[in-house]
Chains A and B, each alone.
Chain A
Amino acid sequence: MKVELRHSSSESAQTIALERMADDACAFEAIIDDRLIPVDIESNDSGGGRMRIGGRVHRYHVLRRDNTLHVWVDGRTYQFERIQATARRAGAAGSAKSANQLAAPMPGTILKINGNAGDAFDAHAPIIVMESMKMEMSLSAPTNVVLTSVDCQVGQLVEMGLVLARLEPVADAE
């Protein structure tokens, strides 16, 4: 089978082909970047196992959550996204946002909102204070901004990624 993956933190992408050899339950051939890599894979019943590539043994564990793939190999964790034809188109359109809004970086409770729509904030000034797991954190203005709308309330429990406020950057006076 052939899969296209994107590694989340390095943003590198690869198409990997992995085929089982006909004569052996453990023997596979992977093709990464036009390189043919023979690999022996022994999986156990619990989503992990070991693979051997040219004599080197690697231990692994995997977990899939929809298109998000969590991988542990030899003590390091990696997160991949599976790129599918439909997702590829949607991804390009979805990324050009976020500069004009304040989104919750984690799930939590809104503790404080330092102003109303129309108020101006200097760069780095805290606009919203939220709490998660009993720790506080401030969401600050990315640049000099005017608050165009507040979309949350003090005391509200918010999910990660929820837009809490909308902003409009203000051009520098100079």
Chain B
Amino acid sequence: MFSKILIANRGEIAVRIMRTCQEMGIRCVAVYSDPDRRGMHVGAADEAYALDGVTSGETYLRQDKIIEIAKRCGADAIHPGFGFLSENASFAEACAKAGITFIGPKPDAIRSMGDKIIAKETLSKAGVPTVPGFTLEGDTASGDAVIKQLKKRCGEIGYPVLIKAAAGGGGKGMRVVNSEGEMSEALEAAQREANSAFGDSRVFVEKYLSKSRHVEIQVFGDTHGNVVHLFERECSIQRRHQKIVEESPSIALTPELRERMGAAAVAAAKAIGYVNAGTVEFMVDDVGEFYFLEVNTRLQVEHPVTELVTRRDLVKAQILVAAGEPLPFTQDDLRQEGCAMEVRIYAEDASRGFLPSTGTIGVYVEPVGPNIRVDSGIAAGSDVSVHYDPMLAKLIVWGRDRGEAIARMDRALREYVILGITTNIDFLRAVVTHPKHVAGEIHTRFLDENPIAMGNDDVPPDEAWIAGVLAAQSGGTRQTSRVGDESVEVGPWQTAGAWKAY
């Protein structure tokens, strides 16, 4: 087993991985950019080393710096988390070359599945149903000839279509095109965003299945030839192709469909000799047909949902498998119990077109109680900067059934306090408690068809005005971080002066 793991990531996922490392008696190493010098993940680690730089490109994407630090501090493995270098085959290769275990799949699997075009061809050959579409010829396709070719072929498969980045993920480099007229601009934007996010501007086109559900299967393979699935997660509530609410089980799946999709996902994983945690994403249409979307060769943001319904620690299984041990569970060991739901807390202003919100968090109080989990990368005093993804934390709840999970989520969101920057907490509550969401009538266009009015335009109640006076009286620099009723560590950079009314 490893004695020291470097976590090549930041924020909530780095903290979450460190928790498992510490439970396994493995020392964990944080790396950090200049703006993250006082980040949560630095404080959660046993050792922390600077990457010297500000942007992702200067820091968390710098393979050379990260491997150098790993060698210097004697880490025997690197966990990439998600995003950044997690799906970078050359990084996995560079780790192997440096004698460090990359906690994830083999470079070949990352490379073939990371190219969405090759992935689709591979899985199609393995007999997994795929969405109709085509690939643009040429590496950085642009110009009138390409637009013409595009329009002709899109006309054949029928609008709306979706332009997707070959190297895509996280909704970046993705654009819906409803008609010919929108093509040029959408293509350009998708290519530019893809290039900025992945350094690869190749795109492909698929028919946009507008009212379908997004259902993905968690798969896990080991180096002993075992492959299992850990059931599904439904992630149909999305905004701009970013998942916002995820749950397991999906109410759209009958036991028979779950069985078929699980088997298809396992077959897909076996076809590519998949090792470690992966996710096979599908669209499920209203008649229960499913189509392959892509394979994510990493731990997913929404993995806690699976952890809560299966009562398994996926990061622990990742580490065991990476160390060459067999999977700690067989297919028969796995059960899906109750209902888990996750929401993503973003630093964004739902009443102003979801503009990212940046600044320093002043007050931070997490919800508590049975069956509530918060995976957070922030505390009072944390700076939310423009340089990284706006996801701050994830709130995950478990209930005996979906109704209980929704009621618990509503209550937990009501208790969640983040002051100093604007977050989507109010928006999430409105989504989760929306009658159609409660009824399970969800699909990937849910938010387009059920616009959630945000604005808080009502005149505030008396207690809010009175609290406003208390705020006016308060000191301007205090930072408070609490979990429920217990104060948690407040960093030394904060002036934690107490204040009382008068």
Contact = CB atoms under 8 A, between A and B. Distances in A.
Q: Which of B425, B471, B475 has the most CB of A within 10 A?
A: B471
Contact of A53 (B197, B463, B468): B463
Interface stretch (A44-52, A85-93, A143-151, A166-174): A44-52
B399 interface: no
B114 to A, nearest CB: 18
Contact of B472 (A9, A39, A82, A106): A82
21 contacts: A7-B464, A30-B466, A39-B466, A46-B498, A48-B363, A51-B466, A61-B417, A63-B420, A63-B474, A70-B420, A73-B461, A74-B414, A74-B463, A75-B429, A76-B426, A80-B471, A82-B472, A131-B196, A132-B355, A132-B386, A136-B193
Contacts of B469: 1, 3, 5, 16, 18, 30
Given A48-B363, A111-B192, A133 B390 contact: yes
Given A63-B474, A133-B388, A72 B419 contact: yes
A126 B459 CA distance: 35
A10 interface: yes
Which of B192, B197, B417, B470 has the most CB atoms of chain A within a 10 A radius of its CB? B470
B502 interface: yes
A105 B348 CA distance: 12
Interface in B348-365: 351-353, 355-358, 362-363, 365
Contacts of B476: 64-66
A107 B358 contact: yes
Nearest to B415: A75
B72 interface: no
Interface in A30-77: 30, 32, 37, 39, 41, 43, 45-49, 51, 53, 58, 60-66, 69-77
Interface in A124-139: 126, 129, 131-137
A64 B472 CA distance: 6
Interface of A: 1, 3, 5, 7, 9-10, 12, 14, 16, 18, 20, 28, 30, 32, 37, 39, 41, 43, 45-49, 51, 53, 58, 60-66, 69-78, 80, 82, 105-108, 111-112, 126, 129, 131-137, 157, 160
B363 A10 contact: no
A16 B465 contact: yes
B4 interface: no
B30 to A, nearest CB: 21
B487 interface: yes
Given A58-B463, A157-B386, 16 more contacts: A1-B473, A7-B464, A20-B502, A32-B466, A43-B470, A46-B363, A46-B480, A48-B365, A53-B462, A60-B470, A63-B474, A70-B363, A76-B464, A105-B352, A133-B356, A133-B386
Those 6 A-B pairs whose CB atoms lie nearest each other, nearest first = A75-B414, A62-B471, A63-B362, A69-B471, A46-B480, A45-B498
Contacts of A9: 351, 455-457
B499 interface: yes
Most buried by A among B172, B466, B475: B466
Given A9-B456, A9-B457, A70 B386 contact: no
Nearest to A80: B468
Contacts of B468: 3, 5, 16, 62, 69, 71, 78, 80
Given A43-B499, A74-B463, A63 B419 contact: yes
B458 A10 contact: yes
Contacts of A10: 456-460
Nearest to A160: B358
Contacts of B365: 48, 61
Contacts of A16: 465-466, 468-469
A49 to B, nearest CB: 8
Given A47-B363, A77-B426, A106-B356, A60 B474 contact: no
A70 B459 contact: no
A103 to B, nearest CB: 12
B467 interface: yes
Interface of B: 172, 185, 189, 192-193, 196-197, 240, 351-353, 355-358, 362-363, 365, 386-390, 413-415, 417, 419-420, 425-426, 429, 455-476, 478, 480, 482, 487, 498-502
Contacts of B185: 126
A60 B363 CA distance: 11
Nearest to A46: B480
Contacts of B390: 133
Nearest to B357: A106
A125 B104 CA distance: 44
A18 to B, nearest CB: 5
B396 to A, nearest CB: 19
Contacts of B498: 45-46
Given A5-B468, A63-B474, A134 B459 contact: no
B467 A64 contact: no
A21 to B, nearest CB: 11
Contacts of A62: 363, 419, 467-468, 470-471, 474
A14 B465 contact: yes
Contacts of B501: 20, 28, 41, 43, 49
A3 B426 contact: no
Given A47-B474, A80-B471, A135-B240, A7 B460 contact: yes
A17 to B, nearest CB: 8
Contacts of B426: 76-77
A148 B474 CA distance: 45
Contacts of A160: 358
B472 A72 contact: no
Contacts of A80: 468, 471
A105 B355 contact: yes
Contacts of A45: 498-500
Contacts of B419: 61-63, 70-72, 77
Nearest to B498: A45
A41 B487 CA distance: 20
A108 B355 CA distance: 11
Given A47-B478, A105-B355, A134 B460 contact: no
B467 A73 contact: yes
